[in-house]
Structure 1
Amino acid sequence: MFIDVQSRLIGAAVALLIIIGGLLGIYLWGRSEGVKADAKRTAPIIGDLRDDLKACEADVGRLRGDIDKQNEAIEGLKSDADERTRRANEAIREAQRQAAGYRAKIDRIAKYQGGPDRCEAARELIVSTLSEDRK
């Protein structure tokens, strides 16, 4: 009787293992078929996405090239602006120097005290001013 129960338990365990193995096999087969079906269904979408990615990568490359060109143009404009600023500052300094010279002449003329003859005093002032201009 003990052997009979033990044999039955072993038989049941073997049957259970066979059933579990069969169910596992069916599950794995179904899963692989599902993966295959998913792959068939998603293959066109993935292909389209790959094409879109390649197009986007090409666009990014073109944009980087355009940005590089714009940066070069900006650097050129900056260099031109720096040169114009330098020349303008030189012109301002020269104008200030000339203005200082003219102020000095005006001050000298304003302070000039000529003799009693106004015409002679004017002539002396003109001669001295012209001689300074020639220096």
Structure 2
Amino acid sequence: MLRANSSQAKGPVERFNAKFSAPHARPENLHREINLSRKALRDILCRREMRYVGLQLTLSWKRRMLILERKALTDGLVGKYVEIFDFADGSVEVRHKGVSLRYRCFDKEQRVEQGVIVENKLLSKALAWVAEQ
């Protein structure tokens, strides 16, 4: 009967841990509790970037154009930087000095399907049909 080597019987994680693990310097648990609100923790654990606001209150983000809603606060942001918060759940927030700004998104990569385009020859027939209805 052949017996497998003990290192071969272990999985890759167990072999890695056996090779590179080290004993703890101190046996007690030194982790501390986090005394932050969920909102503060969410703001910390997200991707943040600064973006320049253009003349039309627009800024670029991930191949999309974000258009800020025109207000007294946003009118003064032309030529300044705002901060974009990209959260793990996929939501995006635009802020200036901690104030959240409303915006709408314009996707630059919008595509028109070939079948949607109606040729001019067919357009007059389609309009005539609509007029009849």
On whether the aligned pair clears a TM of 0.5, the verdict is: no
Q: Which has the larger radius of gyration?
A: 1
Q: TM-score range by the shorter chain?
A: under 0.3
Which of structures 1 and 2 has the larger relative contact order (alpha carbons within 8 angstroms, sep 6+)?
2
Normalized per residue, which structure has more strand? 2
> What is the TM-score with the length of structure 1 in the denominator?
0.21
Structure with the bigger percentage of helix: 1
